[in-house]
Structure 1
Amino acid sequence: MPTLEDIRTAARELEGRIHRTPMLTSSALNERFGADLVLKAELFQKTGSFKVRGLLTKLLRLTAAERARGVVTVSAGNAAGALAWAARDAGVPATVVMAHTAVPAKIDAARGYGATVELVDGDLIAAYERIRDDRGLTGVHPFDDEDVITGHGSLGLELLEDRPDLAAVLVPVGGGGLISGVARAVRLLNPRIKVIGIEPAAADVVSRSLEAGSPQRLPGARSVADGLAAPVCGTHNFPLIQQHVDTIVRVSEESLVEATRWVMSRTKLALEPAAAAPFAALLEGLTVEGPTAAVVSGGNLDVSRLML
């Protein structure tokens, strides 16, 4: 598990390379939910999501030989763009494995950053491993990796540097990379802060894993929040979630769509459905007390996905 000094070291490595995203407030959201919310606006991050924190951290820590082979990841879209951007900046060839049904804008973004995009059917993880091994590429897992988790911890540091009075943090959950890093950092700094994860009921691999007591697979997961439809719970992420996350809340597809539309209309933030997960939970009745940070994880929105 990363130490607080590990996370601070990663934050120093990222400084000047990525954005320090703002903490925003909205009286309309606070009135609607009866809460004291502050929004960590990661949709303004490089490539439009939090993913660059962990993937750039990983890339910076690869050996020269690992970089020379080229890197490959698997992604619904945001990790693909993040790795492609980071690899281009470092002069490293990048390949990303994506589902043929991935959001077209996310496919275009990865190609625009210079990555080779492999669109596949079926088991994405299996395709990723096959391409990695057949081509001798250096694998970079989008969430199940210690360096990636440590990089995401930098977001947790920023939360408490900007708002040391936080009582709770709401974090979207896919495979567990973001919440494990944020929860580790937050709890090391202040163990009294409540950490709540939110995932789609249609793609609830982390909830299922916690119920089973071990990481599970859900290869057929699909959700309007495509960034949260991870087929597995990460083995590195799982113990951190067990130790540091108070609860995981499942939300419906309808609530994700409603929350996306409502937050966009009131705040003018073009968040993607994955980033609306905290607000979907609040719409469904989640209550929080005291200053609460909602991580707005990304803004790579495909408007057509808002139609059920």
Structure 2
Amino acid sequence: MKRIGVLTSGGDSPGMNAAVRAVVRKAIYHNLEIYGIYHGYQGLIDGEIKKLELGSVGDIIHRGGTMLYSARCPEFKTEEGQLKGIEQLKKHGIEGLVVIGGDGSYRGAKALTERGFPCVGVPGTIDNDIPGTEFTIGFDTALNTVIDAIDKIRDTATSHERTYIIEVMGRDAGDIALWAGLAGGAETILIPEDKSNMDDIVSRLKRGHERGKKHSIIIVAEGVGSGVDFARKIEEMTSFETRVTVLGHTQRGGSPTASDRVLASRLGALAVELLIENKGGRAVGIVQNRLVNYDIIEALAQPHTLDMKMYQLSQELSI
């Protein structure tokens, strides 16, 4: 290949810029022309495509978000939208595409692959819910953001002897809630993969109270339900004063951790290597600290799985 493109799509995650930087500089190192596609698949359809140079990605490795911007694009789910995108790629002479994003972004890359256009997916999402890789770009940074919030909230929970509910992101996957809850010493963790009932939650709170515990931290993944609703139910079923913190989009922002910067650099470079070898229709990842690549269509057919042994451990340690 002589000319490739790169785009970021869907929800942004810390480390996307580091991945873009790696793609651009790896491509230029191997004498390829590299084009940035702005605003994700919508920008692809609209032809927002610009050649990138070494200096285009200077001083971005430490920045959160994405310099290429991102956008949702329902039109790209249609045949017409996909064909428009391929037309723009051909118009600019782009022969391969690196797609950095989550599940929806991968589905777009899968659609292009099925239409004969070589794509490589790079997992960029804080949810850590992409099959085929143990970690996704942005997960570690989001995790540390949540842990920092838990530590701060625990201070005030202790001072006021209250129960605090912290709602975190995770519509379909409980990785953020589980890892942050275990690292932050939460008394209860609620995840989509294991719907706990209110009787169990209240029972745990009461057991803690009976042995002299004056405060509790409960982590709720958004896919389980609203933290506000859980707080109301707890107050109705107990006499415990309860407060709620919804972390929301703070989890997506911030300077990426060293771990995310290194992961993004390694995966971005591997994606370019695959395109150089004319290997499209692939996705990259990391398993036991080794870089891997696999068929993107097969990957999307696999369900995301949570480490339920870790979830069991969190319950054992919070008795």
Provide the TM-score with structure 2 as the length reference.
0.29
Provide the TM-score with structure 1 as the length reference.
0.29
